Structure 1
Amino acid sequence: MAQSEQAWQDEARDIMRGIGGAAIIGVPLVYTREVWEIATTFGRQEIFLLVFWGSLVCFGFSLFSGFRKDSGVAAAAKDAVESIAIGVLLAIALLFLLGVVDMQTSLVEAVSRVAVETVPLAMGASVANTQFGSDDNSEDDSGESNDSALREAGFAAAGALIFAASIAPTEEVALIAERLNPLGIAGIALFSLLLTCGMIFVADFTGGDKRRGAKGVLQSPLGETVLAYAIALIVAFVCVAYFHALSPLPNPYPMIALTVVLALPASVGGAVGRLIV
């Protein structure tokens, strides 16, 4: 029973690590209008070739750095297939959440956009283990919980700023925010929270085992997830205020919408801040 539970935990970690790697590499491209538009110019042959070559690249990456620790050609092929699957599902989720694809979008256009976004997301999943995997030999700093929490908050803010500042000046953030109703904004916020929690505590990018064993409200999964997302929201708010010259008064909704939209990539950056700073 214990072995079966451990196997499920390992499977969840591996899948979440792939999703996290996909988000780190691919989310900025999901916020790129040129990618949305060029996808609509591709025919069936171009889409097929794009996915085919993308699958080969994922296979090559998986031979050396798949999101699982298994090795060999068969394991790499399995990783590549799962990387593409992660890319497809994450692309669909992100494009629908951001309003780039909706029920009025034609099937051909929707498939094209999903396919184009799938490739970079799948590549991110393929390199997750080597590029973003946790260091099992990292030192235990549980005795310095206060200093550690403050340091991690600073790294989270820096990581969030790196991701948010590169996207905030673009018109895509405003275009996405204009399309969304309050329910869509709430959906993005919930997705950001779940992704943050998964990357910090499930994917084990940054010592999730030690985090789960740490004491204190802010070291619990709920506490640290809320703190990380709050930091992402603050960073996104500052970027929106600076680059879009908006004020929360008299109508706060545009500011809220822009902040939540930008907080999605900011939360990805914040979740892995210690790795990219």
Structure 2
Amino acid sequence: MVRIKAQDWQTEFDDLMRGIAGAFLFGAPFLYTMEVWWKGNFTSPPRMMLILGIAYLGLVLLNIKGGFRAEQPRSRAQILVESAEGLAIALFTATLSLTLLDIVHFDAGIDAIMGRLITLSLPFSIGVGIANNLLLKIDDDEADPAKQREPQNDHPWRSTLSDAGAAFLGAIVVGSSIAPTDEIPMISSSLEPARLLLIMASSLLLSYIIVFEANFGAQRRRRSQSGFFQRPISETVAAYLIALATGMLMLWLFQGVRVGDPINQWVSYSIILGLPCTIGGAAGRLAV
């Protein structure tokens, strides 16, 4: 009896992590869009309710064939309940993101704060709704138990370079669309060193959740690869360093930072851009 309960809790945790990962994978670019913040300042309560209604309707439609749970809903009631849970996850991740980047302030007023959160919750809710469709796949050894006994023949260098290349390309896909914008210096201007450290820790945690805890699939195959950093902690740290370097490269290419700029500006901008680059890199690593 206890074993069943423990398994149920683990399944619930995996589903929750998958929903959070999907929200960040899809919603990160919208998080770095100042127009979303500003529009939220002037969103009326009826419009907020309309946005929430659209987000919920989208989740209902997506939960029919997608959703964030590994087990598909079997009834209309389950679809409605899980859509409400998905909307709650979207609101939670939107709140967490805006708070982390210091984009919401209590002195702005409750209407402006709610407007920003609810406006951003729309793309985040779509990410929750398509979490399974994004990257969920079945382990080869789950599909064919005989493959579980097959040895992994990949050379360590090949596995390492494959993961590093996937992290690099994923970071470029996300980072190149954000690096040229004014959001990076705007966010940086209000952040203290302690907040930058918190962003770094959050980036590492999100990368770990997306690749190793969200249970998007192929977990056994990933853990059995023979790369030099093929351990959850070491791979997460190595991928984050790649994301930081990629973000710094994108900032320099798009003239967000220049040679001769203060070192603290290089560091601050890179850490801020490193958050979405890390999310993109995690998606890239899952895709290979």
Where on the TM-score scale, by shorter chain, does this alignment land: which range? over 0.9
Asked if 1:88 corresponds to 2:98, the answer is no
The aligned counterpart of 1:50 is: 51
Q: Per-residue displacement from partner, 1:50-82 (whole Å, max 9, x unpaired)?
A: 101210111110111011122232222222111
Q: Take 1:71 and 1:163, find their aligned partners in 2: how far apart are those partners?
A: 32
Counterpart of 2:181 (choices 170, 177, 181) is 170
The aligned counterpart of 1:158 is: 169
**Structure 1 residue 92 displacement after superposition:** 0.7
The aligned counterpart of 2:72 is: 70
Q: Per-residue displacement from partner, 1:21-51 (whole Å, max 9, x unpaired)?
A: 1111111001001111111221110001110
Is the Cα contact below 8 Å between 1:211 and 1:220 reproduced in 2?
A: no
**Structure 1 residue 116 displacement after superposition:** 0.4
Q: Take 1:102 and 1:276, find their aligned partners in 2: how far apart are those partners?
A: 37
Q: Take 1:76 and 1:70, find their aligned partners in 2: how far apart are those partners?
A: 9
The aligned counterpart of 2:233 is: 222
Quote the RMSD (CA, aligned, Å).
2.1
The aligned runs of 1:79-118 (5 Å cut-off) are 79-118=82-121
Percent identity of the aligned residues?
31
Q: Take 2:259 and 2:138, find their aligned partners in 1: how far apart are those partners?
A: 42
Is the Cα contact below 8 Å between 2:159 and 2:227 reproduced in 1?
A: no
Q: Which amino acid aligns with 1:149?
A: T
Asked if 1:143 corresponds to 2:143, the answer is no
The aligned counterpart of 1:203 is: 214
The aligned counterpart of 1:30 is: 31
Is the Cα contact below 8 Å between 2:16 and 2:68 reproduced in 1?
A: yes
The aligned counterpart of 2:19 is: 18
Q: Take 1:104 and 1:184, find their aligned partners in 2: how far apart are those partners?
A: 19
Q: Per-residue displacement from partner, 1:56-111 (whole Å, max 9, x unpaired)?
A: 11111011101112223222222211111111111111101112112332111001
Q: Which amino acid aligns with 1:89?
A: F
Is the Cα contact below 8 Å between 1:157 and 1:270 reproduced in 2?
A: yes
The aligned counterpart of 1:183 is: 194
How many residues in Structure 1 have an aligned counterpart in Structure 2?
277
Q: Which amino acid aligns with 1:94?
A: S
SS of the counterpart of 1:167? Answer: coil
**Structure 1 residue 248 displacement after superposition:** 6.6
Asked if 1:260 corresponds to 2:271, the answer is yes
Q: Take 1:35 and 1:67, find their aligned partners in 2: how far apart are those partners?
A: 25
Deviates more, 1:206-215 or 1:191-200: 206-215
SS of the counterpart of 1:52? Answer: helix
Q: Which amino acid aligns with 1:267?
A: T
Is the Cα contact below 8 Å between 2:29 and 2:178 reproduced in 1?
A: yes
Is the Cα contact below 8 Å between 1:25 and 1:124 reproduced in 2?
A: yes
Q: Which amino acid aligns with 1:218?
A: F
Is the Cα contact below 8 Å between 1:134 and 1:204 reproduced in 2?
A: no
Deviates more, 1:63-72 or 1:161-170: 63-72
- Unaligned regions of 5+ residues in structure 1, if any? none
Q: Take 2:5 and 2:17, find their aligned partners in 1: how far apart are those partners?
A: 18
**Structure 1 residue 11 displacement after superposition:** 1.6
- Unaligned regions of 5+ residues in structure 2, if any? 142-146
Q: Take 1:60 and 1:185, find their aligned partners in 2: how far apart are those partners?
A: 38
Higher-Rg member (1/2): 2
Q: Take 1:16 and 1:107, find their aligned partners in 2: how far apart are those partners?
A: 29
Is the Cα contact below 8 Å between 1:152 and 1:274 reproduced in 2?
A: yes
User: TM-score of the superposition, structure 1-length normalised?
Assistant: 0.93
**Structure 1 residue 171 displacement after superposition:** 0.5
Q: Which amino acid aligns with 1:152?
A: D
Is the Cα contact below 8 Å between 2:68 and 2:131 reproduced in 1?
A: yes
Q: Per-residue displacement from partner, 1:199-248 (whole Å, max 9, x unpaired)?
A: 01001235223334556761111111101111110100111122235247
SS of the counterpart of 2:229? Answer: helix
The aligned counterpart of 2:204 is: 193
